[in-house]
Every structure is written in C-alpha cells, then in structure tokens.
Amino acid sequence: MKTFRRHLKEKLKSEKFKKLYEEEQKLAELSLRIIDTREHLGLSQREVAKRAKITQQQLSKLENGINCTMVTFLKVCYALGIKVDIEPPKITRKAA
C-alpha cells in the first residue's frame, strides 16, 4: 500500500499537478494567517465581517480556503490591520 507522502511525491512530478498543488498550498497559508490574526485579536467572524462590510458567510469561506474575490480578501486584511504587499520578482541584468 502506498503512503500518502510517496503518492504525493509521484504526483508532484507532473508540472500541472505541482502548479495546482502550490496554488492550493498558498491559499491555505493565507487562510490560516487570517484566522490566526483574527483569533489573536480576540475577534469573532461576525465582528470582522462587520468591520470589513462583508457577510459572516463570506469570511467563513475565505477562512476555509474557498475562493473569494480580491476585493473581499483585501477588505478582510484591512479590517484586521494586515499589510498586503506584492513584491516584484528580482531582475538580474546581463553584463554587456
């Protein structure tokens, strides 16, 4: 019987699967950061939703890693005081 790790290692050889896996992993990481921040601040989903001017159901979906719009994501981040930065890739210049 295959172990999960061995099965995953085999599946990750596929570039398509690897890309989708990494996207889901990042969504889960973002969701966990939002939950951790909300709980650290001692806020309920209802309180954060009210601050963000979204429904509690929308926040629940976001926290459970279900796709949401960027607008909803940003509203929740702002409501929790989470700074959102996008870093461009580092560009290396070729020597002339």
CATH number at residue 54: 1.10.260.40
pTM equals: 0.75
pLDDT of residue 1: 60
37 assigned to some structural domain:
yes
- Residue pointed to by tokens 């929740």: 76
Q: Per-residue confidence at 95, pLDDT binned at 50, 70, 90?
A: low
Within a domain: residue 51?
yes
Range of the domain at 58: 4-80
For residue 37, which of 70, 71, 83 has the smallest C-alpha distance? 83
User: What mean pLDDT comes out for the span 1-21?
Assistant: 86
The domain total for the chain is 1
